């Protein structure tokens, strides 16, 4: 089984800890002038997203995690599972709600998503940073309001709710930053 | 910084010296790894392995034994395997020796120099014993505690918010390893926060090249100086006993053998100089890159290097 020594540690390296795949967020080399050297790492659990710290003795080795990232196209949601396809191999994979997490609020058919595969199975999925979605429902704004302060909630076609300016109306397309869940601008038909 | 530093030593009658960076011998310290290269040429038909020094300590002590009087050196030193936020495989060291001085006098001189170089005339100096440091912050006696106590202390510190120790129970370390872990993860970040902190009187097992002070318990006449939670300098009341020195080198080699590390040739010229007689001296090495980090408020050594090794 592949493994990494502490001197191979760097940000982005995928390792196994306590049976779960982790990615190294930060690695710090710690060494007293006349003493034992250590690697102090911040690692993120790829399943839960939780970040923890670990300290290793320099020279120790850790099992490598069979993890890689790829872009998959979202095909459809069957009410229980989300179906994706690898656009180069046409291989299809499914993921459940736990894996989708926040991404389920933002993606629609044909969106290309960044997917982390562990032992060949998706363990986390990120929506594209920006998506264009249609407003399914929002209260009519006040006439004459062009921009101005404040805003109103709008329900999008995927069910997500974002705060939009008062002048934006039902049926319009808007661009949303999925990382913050915030309205960016109105979008022209594309 | 170098101008001020040279003026400081010139005014105090300390002679600047240069010793070779390359040597046929290398440090035996299991905690240090030497880089090496090969020398070949007209005078040297078959390539000879030469080590880049990890510190100029041994040749400088040969000068002391030859009667040089007080000396200092500014040079690059090389350490394999060291790279991080505060580590770089080559770095600048200031090392100096004071024949006939006690450790306390040297500690005061280091503080004087740092006040000058950092342009902080009022910078305070706090001296604490290694034992007292562990007793105050962790409630354990580092000289007496057994392995299990140290391990339990590290676990407890991890639970109490020392994040570097939050999952250390799987580590396989010896006594000194646990002490180093506690020191580097838990204690060091607190040192040098309100002026300079000097930690002194290390466990005999961490004496390196320091003289042991007999007593109960016996401690090593060694100090480290910290500023802003970072180690800047390491000093010794130098070991001058050639037989004891050879025994420590051999113990280092045994430890290296057990750990599967290379066993470099001993510096016999240095041992011969000790045997011929080196004056009792206090000596210290100070990392100039880290000092520059402190002076500039930089938190990465790369910020004070023109070209870090990855781009060298």
**First CA to last CA distance, chain A:** 48
B266 vs A149: which has the higher pLDDT: B266
Question: Same structural domain for residues A162 and A176?
Answer: yes
Q: Which residue is closest to A58 within chain B, CA to CA?
A: B81
DSSP readout, B82-99? --SSS--SEEEEEEEEEE
Q: What pLDDT does residue A1 have? A: 66
Q: What is the mean pLDDT of residues B39-47?
A: 79
**Is a pLDDT exceeding 70 seen at residue B158?**
yes
Range name among A3-7, B31-35, B198-202 with the lowest pLDDT average:
A3-7
Range name among A131-145, B122-136, B275-289 with the lowest pLDDT average:
A131-145
How high is the mean pLDDT of chain B?
A: 94
Domain boundary among A20, A38, A63: A63
Q: CATH number, domain at B18?
A: 3.30.930.10
Q: Which two tokens stand for residue B309?
A: 């090794």
Q: What pLDDT does residue B123 have? A: 96
Question: Same structural domain for residues A72 and A110?
Answer: yes
State how far the Cα of B60 lies from the Cα of B65, in Å rounded to an integer.
9
**Nearest CB to B171 within list A29, A52, A55:** A55
Q: What is the mean pLDDT of residues B101-111?
A: 97
Q: What pLDDT does residue B133 have? A: 97
State how far the Cα of A57 lies from the Cα of B176, in Å rounded to an integer.
13
Q: CATH number, domain at A163?
A: 2.40.50.140
With bands split at pLDDT 50, 70 and 90, how would you rate the model's confidence at B76?
A: very high
Q: Do A58 and B180 touch (CB under 8 A)?
A: no
**Nearest CB to A34 within list B31, B86, B166:** B31
Q: DSSP strand E in chain B: where?
A: 15-16, 22-23, 36-41, 44-52, 71-78, 90-99, 125-129, 196-202, 212-213, 219-227, 230-237, 281-287
- The SS3 of residue B105 is helix
* Residue B159, phi then psi, degrees to nearest 5: -65, -30
| Structural domain boundaries enclosing A115 | 67-126
**Is a pLDDT exceeding 60 seen at residue A147?**
no
Q: What is the mean pLDDT of residues B96-121?
A: 97
Long-range CB pairs of B144-150 (<8 Å, 24+ gap) are B144/B217, B146/B175, B147/B174, B147/B175, B147/B178, B150/B175, B150/B178, B150/B179, B150/B182
State how far the Cα of B233 lies from the Cα of B244, in Å rounded to an integer.
24
Q: Do A29 and B31 touch (CB under 8 A)?
A: no
Length of chain B: 312
Q: Which two tokens stand for residue B115?
A: 């006040």
Burial of A161 (0-12, 13-18, 19+ CB in 10 A): middle
Q: Do A54 and B85 touch (CB under 8 A)?
A: no
Question: Same structural domain for residues A92 and A105?
Answer: yes
Question: Same structural domain for residues A138 and A167?
Answer: yes
Q: What is the pLDDT of residues B197-252, one digit of tens each?
A: 999 999 999 998 999 999 888 999 999 999 999 999 999 999 999 999 999 999 99
Q: What pLDDT does residue A119 have? A: 87
Instruction: Give the range with max mean pLDDT: A31-40, A125-134, B105-114, B208-217.
Output: B105-114
* % of chain B at pLDDT higher than 70: 100
* Residue A149, phi then psi, degrees to nearest 5: -75, 175
Q: What pLDDT does residue B161 have? A: 79
With bands split at pLDDT 50, 70 and 90, how would you rate the model's confidence at A104?
A: confident
State how far the Cα of A37 lies from the Cα of B32, in Å rounded to an integer.
10
Domain count, chain A: 3
Question: Same structural domain for residues A18 and A49?
Answer: yes
What's the pTM value of the predicted model, to 2 decimals?
0.81
**Is a pLDDT exceeding 70 seen at residue A154?**
yes
Q: What is the mean pLDDT of residues B265-288?
A: 97
Q: Do A53 and B167 touch (CB under 8 A)?
A: yes
**Nearest CB to B176 within list A35, A38, A57:** A35
Contacts of A36 in chain B (CB under 8 A): 31, 173, 176-177, 180-181
Q: What is the mean pLDDT of residues B159-182?
A: 85
Flag whether B12 is in a domain.
Answer: yes
Q: What is the mean pLDDT of residues B136-145?
A: 94
Flag whether B20 is in a domain.
Answer: yes
Q: What is the mean pLDDT of residues B83-102?
A: 96
Q: What is the pLDDT of residues A171-190, one digit of tens each?
A: 989 999 998 888 999 887 65
CA nearest A116: which of A22, A181, A180, A26?
Answer: A22
Flag whether B273 is in a domain.
Answer: yes
**Is a pLDDT exceeding 70 seen at residue A142?**
no
Q: What pLDDT does residue A146 have? A: 58
Question: Same structural domain for residues A7 and A55?
Answer: yes
Which residue, among A34, A56, A57, A58, would best test binding to B if mutated, counting the most B CBs under 10 Å from its CB?
A: A34
Contacts of A53 in chain B (CB under 8 A): 163-164, 166-167
Q: What pLDDT does residue A149 have? A: 64
A143 vs A185: which has the higher pLDDT: A185
| Structural domain boundaries enclosing B13 | 2-123+264-311
* Residue B272, phi then psi, degrees to nearest 5: -65, -40
Q: What is the pLDDT of residues A69-103, one digit of tens each?
A: 889 999 999 888 999 999 889 989 999 888 888 88
Q: What is the pLDDT of residues A14-54, one digit of tens each?
A: 999 988 999 999 888 999 878 889 999 999 998 888 898 88
With bands split at pLDDT 50, 70 and 90, how would you rate the model's confidence at B194?
A: very high
Q: Is the ipTM, as predicted for this complex, more than 0.90?
A: no
**Nearest CB to A57 within list B85, B173, B208:** B173
Domain count, chain B: 1
Q: What pLDDT does residue B135 have? A: 95
* Contact (Cβ atoms closer than 8 angstroms) between residue B301 and residue B289: yes
CA distance A40 to chain B (A): 6
């Amino acid at each position: 089984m592949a493994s990494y020594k502490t001197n191979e540690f760097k940000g982005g390296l995928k390792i196994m800890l306590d049976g779960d795949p982790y990615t190294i967020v930060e690695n710090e080399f710690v060494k007293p002038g006349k003493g034992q050297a250590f690697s102090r790492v911040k690692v993120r659990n790829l399943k839960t997203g939780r970040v923890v710290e670990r300290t290793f003795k320099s020279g120790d080795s850790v099992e490598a995690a069979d993890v890689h990232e790829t872009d998959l196209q979202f095909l459809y949601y069957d009410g229980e599972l989300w179906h994706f396809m690898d656009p180069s191999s046409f291989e299809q994979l499914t993921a459940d709600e736990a894996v989708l997490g926040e991404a389920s609020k933002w993606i629609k058919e044909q969106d290309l998503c960044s997917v982390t595969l562990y032992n060949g199975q998706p363990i986390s999925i990120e929506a594209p940073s920006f998506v264009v979605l249609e407003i399914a429902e929002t209260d009519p704004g006040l006439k004459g309001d062009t921009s101005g302060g404040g805003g109103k909630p709008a329900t999008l076609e995927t069910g997500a709710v974002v705060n939009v300016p008062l002048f934006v109306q039902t049926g319009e397309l808007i661009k949303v930053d999925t990382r913050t869940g915030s309205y960016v601008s109105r979008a022209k038909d594309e | 910084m170098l101008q001020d530093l040279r003026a400081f030593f010139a005014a105090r009658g300390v002679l600047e010296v240069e010793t070779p960076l390359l040597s046929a011998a290398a440090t035996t310290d299991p905690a240090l790894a030497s880089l090496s290269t090969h020398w070949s040429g007209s005078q040297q038909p078959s390539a000879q392995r030469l080590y880049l020094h990890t510190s100029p300590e041994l040749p400088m002590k040969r000068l002391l034994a030859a009667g040089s009087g007080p000396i200092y050196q500014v040079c690059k030193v090389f350490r394999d395997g060291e790279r991080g936020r505060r580590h770089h495989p080559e770095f600048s060291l200031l090392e100096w020796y004071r024949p006939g001085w006690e450790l306390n006098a040297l500690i005061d001189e280091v503080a004087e120099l740092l006040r000058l170089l950092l342009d902080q005339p009022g910078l305070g100096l706090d001296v604490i014993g290694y034992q007292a440091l562990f007793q105050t912050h962790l409630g354990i006696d580092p000289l007496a505690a057994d392995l299990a106590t140290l391990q339990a202390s590290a676990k407890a510190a991890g639970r109490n918010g020392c994040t570097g120790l939050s999952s250390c129970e799987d580590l396989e370390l010896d006594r000194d390893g646990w002490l180093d872990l506690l020191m580097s993860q838990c204690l060091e970040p607190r040192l040098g926060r309100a002026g300079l902190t000097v930690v002194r009187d290390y466990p005999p097992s961490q004496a390196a090249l320091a003289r042991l002070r007999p007593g109960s318990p016996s401690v090593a006449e060694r100090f480290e100086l910290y500023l802003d939670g970072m180690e800047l300098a390491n000093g010794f009341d130098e070991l001058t006993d050639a037989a004891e020195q050879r025994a420590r080198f051999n113990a280092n080699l045994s430890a290296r053998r057990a750990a599967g590390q290379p066993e470099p040739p001993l510096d016999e010229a240095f041992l011969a100089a000790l045997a011929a007689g080196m004056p009792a001296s206090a000596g210290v090495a100070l990392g100039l890159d880290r000092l520059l980090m402190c002076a500039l408020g930089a938190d990465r050594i790369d910020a004070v290097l023109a070209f870090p090794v990855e781009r060298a």
